[in-house]
A and B are shown apart, each in its own frame.
Chain A
């Protein structure tokens, strides 16, 4: 558990198995939500998450592999690709510049 300052997030990666399907979908919706906050949102395969990411979103079933790829980057596992509370909470914190727990 660590507390992260929402305004320190500049590069957010959404990762899925192939980096072509579900991650692209979630990334494009987050991109719109976070455009005003100067956050770069990108999608990637879990095996190729860039190590300069500030935060990684990935489905709970892939979280282990994401952590294996980037051990030093906080990984936020979520359940649902649409409307997951874990994602919504952090998006809100980033938008408001609040801190949040991972």
Chain B
């Protein structure tokens, strides 16, 4: 039976081959390196999109999509650029899902994607720098920038009626970037930042750091750190000395171990973490399961990879061209739909329907697996859950 099916599909493929045009989508992700444990699932979701589109039979112009994988290594810029160069020049890909980590993404964008005119949609690069880097309109991402959380944190603080805030951040790229984003956004909203000081991770005693923070004062101490490192130490020392009793907790501090370790002193503190409330998330998980029973689509950035690949293919159809210079202008339009909201909402697993609508000249609003809503600079707004610690547990009190 299997053989028969295989033969039949092979026949079907070769029959269609006459009019078919192969369109290659590159996926440039860290098959090796620090994120090698989550990269395989990110690759697989691109396969999933390609299969969904090809199987729907709705692809225009006889396009047959392929996923060409390449290794970004996550940390080695030279290797990532070489891999991207191979994708573009020898494989002839028309768009790239990737890269993954912020550093290599910036390098590939500047040195390969922009000179060659190839669209890149990163599912996982979160550095705020990518929002302002010049990209000639070729760069998008389906994961919110770290800076976005700064905006949300400040809105939460403001809505709760606080006006004077102290910030303590982990002395790392992540902590520093987040603290800068929070300070800039809060000042813009009219909040006072009394101090913005770093703390080193891995120390046993944070009472001196807390003494300096206490001297600066503030109603709330925002701790942009790590949950099992200095962030926890700062909170513990603040409570022990009575310096602060309310804490703002960005995503790095979200986790059940924090209230467990700190105890009732943390009750009333609040924060936010990225979440997905998209209706399409479940259909995406189901599609992933159907595609490959052993495949768990819920791992980090896999859903974002699905949306990145889907956006590229849908934009190609909307522009009726596989030329990145042409279809890049359609991506935001596809992601958000027309401004009047008349676009039909497309969830994950409905790519065939989307292609049909595009072919019929109707507007769509791609929501996908993660609830894509793009900002003008090619970033996504992202969805955050606002949390509050109640009775020693993080409880979601709203969605932003």
Co-assembled chains A and B: no
Binding site for A on B (CB under 8 A): none
Q: Which residue numbers of A lie inside 8 Å of B, CB to CB?
A: none
